[in-house]
Amino acid sequence: MLSLYINNMDSNKIIKKHNHITDLISRKQVRQSINLIKELIEISKNGDHRQQLENIENTYKNMVKYTIEGVHDPERHKVLTRMLQSLLELADRVKQEILARYSGWHTYWLKENSLKEQSLAGISIIETIDDLAFKEELDAWLRQAGTVSPDPESEHARKHRQLVDNIFNHLWLTDKYGEAETELIKLIIRSGKFEWHEQSLFVSAITLSSLRFWESEKIQILASLYRDKTEQISERALAGLLLVLYYYDKRIQIYPEVKELLVELSEDSNFREHLKITILQIIRSGETEKISKKLHDEILPRVAELRPRLEDKLDLDNLLPEDLMEGKNPDWSDMFKESEDLYKTMEEFSRLQMEGADVYMSAFANLKNFDFFRKILNWFMPFYPDHEAIDVLYRDEVLAAGTNELAEALYKTPFICNSDKYSLVLNLQHLPASQKEMMLKVFRLELEGLEQMRDEEIDIDPTKGFKTNVTQYLQDLYRFFKLSPYKKEFDDVFRGTLDFHRTTLFRTVLRDNESITTFADYYFGKDFYNEALDLYTEMLKDNPDEAQLYEKTGYCYQQLAEYEKALEMYSRAEMLDRKIWTLKKIGFCNRRLGKHGEALKNYLAAEKMDPGNMHTLAMIGHCYLDMEDFDSALKFYFKVEYNDPDNTRILKPIAWCYLVQGKYGQSKKYFDKISKGKMNGHDYINAGHLALCMGDRMRAIDYYRRSIIEGKMDKSDFLEIFNDDAAMLITNNIDPDDLPIITDYLFFDLED
């Protein structure tokens, strides 16, 4: 039975079981975790692992026995911590061993090849840097680096690229770092023989290694690389550090040295500021799919509808006049007069872009199929003008003359991540000549604008460079985990990255009021109400007299449809600071809870504070409607109609009130007005009810049919609404026996 299980190995099941084990260990459920590790060891058939687990189990049994017998051991906590660490490491090793043997993943194929090369070099265990299979190539590069400027096609350049590949793979695929890895990293950083973009790649390798196999030493290395403050390296190290700490949050309590590191780092105000910037950018990644969907479903189709007019208005044959950078385009606002929603959407798109939102994910998702992206390290390659991928442009008849400017502009633009910049370059060579020429014009102007913008922005915001670098890198990482052909081999760290505020990292470093407020308000502003609620409720403990906190907490509960809790928060806010807004929110919650009389009192009180407010008058009308006091409801609806004659929505409840009262003539007058505009499914049903009450059954059937066809209403939804309205129809003298016949006739007709 076991062999059958192995032959049909499901890697996901192994990963889930391993995750369950690590969760149990983090909760100190030792006995249960040991039993599950035994099951994994049975699959791996590794006798050394079995023996190690038996030793841990025996130690734990003795600890349990001594504790129950009342034996005092001052070292018990330390022993338990080391035991939990040993269990975690053992579980990690067994998982890696099983996946290496059965998954068939590219990761483990690379790892096996590296081990074979090491074996061929005559060394099976790497203890020092001299044991590395590529040590000879490394020494050769250290001697020659900086003395030659090789052609990218030269043997020297090829060997160097292979060395970079080897270092990347070694740092990524090594489970536990020892002296060799520590010395290798120091050499890379301190020797001055590796370019910043190569060092950046190695930081990504350490991050990937940390995510694949936990080790506190790797955490310390990432923190050290951040603290070196080398531009591009520091940002990547911090982003990697945060993602690793987020991914392994449950383990941090078991590794006191990591907690101590966070406390030490938190003493640096720059670290706290960088941490906030990076965490907010990671959280922003949660919006990427929503933004891509909005772009695909709303913006691009509407731009396509305007395309002929856009081409005429913008004179695309002469796309870039010299003064375009100064914003002189008098036709811009006129062109969008008939499409104001689109104009607002494009403004929102620009705002999101300036905030650092990932607005280009969908645009570049289909440009990741080049061979360039079959190599894992290229997903993390920083864009720089001298990269060999640029060389193809120098051989292009159209692009050759402007390649330097194009590459420089791409390098400096803050709005496109590194991965997408390479996609753009690789795709350029396949474009028609006219589009290539247009792109050159665009990037020449882009370069001019960027030079000025960069200097101005850094003067205003000293962290601008950090924000740009960390944003681009996180977007590179996001694309790797979402789009890479090897993505199934990596647990997606961007899945559910909204709850950073619940992590040990956040509670240790960002526990000050300003930081908590920043994140709470960010969540709130982005409609992440569950997350905002966590922080607002925590803030209320220290600020029990702050009305605005109660208001925001109440609004979160309201948006989550927890109206009782929302009502409690709004009521407390109203006691501290009486506002019309709060009164109306209390009325809203009371109405949702079916407390129509209470809601009416709230809205009447609000109306006294702000007489004539159209929204308040309408809500008072709704409360009377809920209470079936139709005459009173109409009085308030008429006030809205009189003061706001362009508001066609107020016609609907007026028409309904007259219908319910049996005043069909007056009701028809309003339904006729409604029919001149765009009607929805409910409008058609109500019009059908009126026709039915007036004795015109065929006209009623026609309206009901249109509610389903033109109103795009599901048949089951129609039937539910129709049945809800049955009591009103019967009150208006419709025979109850006729109602099912009417719906059956309608559905027969639709089927035919």
In this prediction, residue 148 carries a pLDDT of 53
Task: State how far the Cα of 478 lies from the Cα of 258, in Å rounded to an integer.
Answer: 25
Question: What is the secondary structure of 39-103 as a DSSP string?
Answer: HHHHHHT-HHHHHHHHHHHHHHHHHHHHHHTT---TTHHHHHHHHHHHHHHHHHHHHHHHHHHHS
Integer Cα distance of 102 and 319 in angstroms: 56
Using N-to-C axis directions, what is the helix angle for 76-102 and 106-120, rounded to 10°?
100
pLDDT, position 84: 97
Q: Are 490 and 481 in contact (CB under 8 A)?
A: yes
Specify burial of residue 98 (Cβ count, 10 A radius: 0-12, 13-18, 19+): buried
Amino acid at the residue 381: M
pLDDT at 156 (0 to 100): 83
pLDDT of residue 318: 36
743 by Cβ neighbours in 10 Å (0-12 / 13-18 / 19+) ranks as middle
Listed by start position, the domains of the chain span 2-102, 106-286, 288-454+477-484, 647-752
Pair 659, 686: CB distance under 8 Å: yes
Q: Which of 87, 96, 100 is nearest to 38 (CA)?
A: 87
Do residues 226 and 237 lie in contact, with contact meaning Cβ atoms separated by under 8 Å?
yes
Query: How far apart are the C-alpha atoms of 586 and 597, rounded to whole Å?
Result: 12
Quick one: 350 exposed, middle or buried, by C-beta within 10 A (0-12, 13-18, 19+)? exposed
Residue 493's identity, in one-letter code, is: V
Model pLDDT, residue 201: 98
Write the CA distances from 33 to 6, 28, 42, 65, 88, integer angstroms: 21, 9, 14, 18, 9
Per-residue confidence (pLDDT) for residue 341, from 0 to 100: 54
Distance between start and end Cα atoms, the chain: 56
**What is the widest separation between alpha-carbon atoms in the chain?**
100
Which pLDDT score, from 0 to 100, does residue 204 have? 98
pLDDT at 307: 44
Instruction: Give the mean pLDDT per block of 10 residues along the chain (752 residues).
Output: 46 94 96 96 94 96 91 89 97 96 94 87 86 91 70 83 95 96 95 94 98 97 96 97 96 95 94 95 84 66 48 36 35 44 58 74 88 96 91 78 80 90 88 80 70 61 89 96 95 86 93 92 92 95 94 96 96 95 95 95 96 92 94 95 89 94 95 92 94 95 95 93 94 94 93 82
Alpha-carbon gap, residue 274 to 265, rounded angstroms = 11
Q: Mind giving me the DSSP string for 322-388?
A: GGGGGT--THHHHHTGGGHHHHHHHHHHHHHHHHT---SHHHHGGG--SGGGGSGGGGGPPP-TT-G
Whole-number pLDDT of residue 532: 95
User: How much is the pLDDT for 735?
Assistant: 94
pLDDT of 239: 97
Q: 11-26 and 30-44 helices cross at what angle (nearest 10)?
A: 150
The C-alpha atoms of residue 536 and residue 573 are separated, in whole angstroms, by 13
CATH architecture of the domain 647-752 equals Alpha Horseshoe (1.25)
Those residues with Cβ within 8 angstroms of residue 382's Cβ, 6 or more apart along the chain or in another chain: 196, 197, 200, 201, 232, 418
Conformation bin of residue 431: beta by default, left when phi > 0, alpha when psi is -120 to 50: beta
User: CA 255, CA 575: separation in Å to the nearest integer?
Assistant: 47
Please state, in angstroms and rounded to a whole number, the distance separating the CA atoms of residues 578 and 571.
9
Under 8 Å between Cβ of 53 and 34: yes
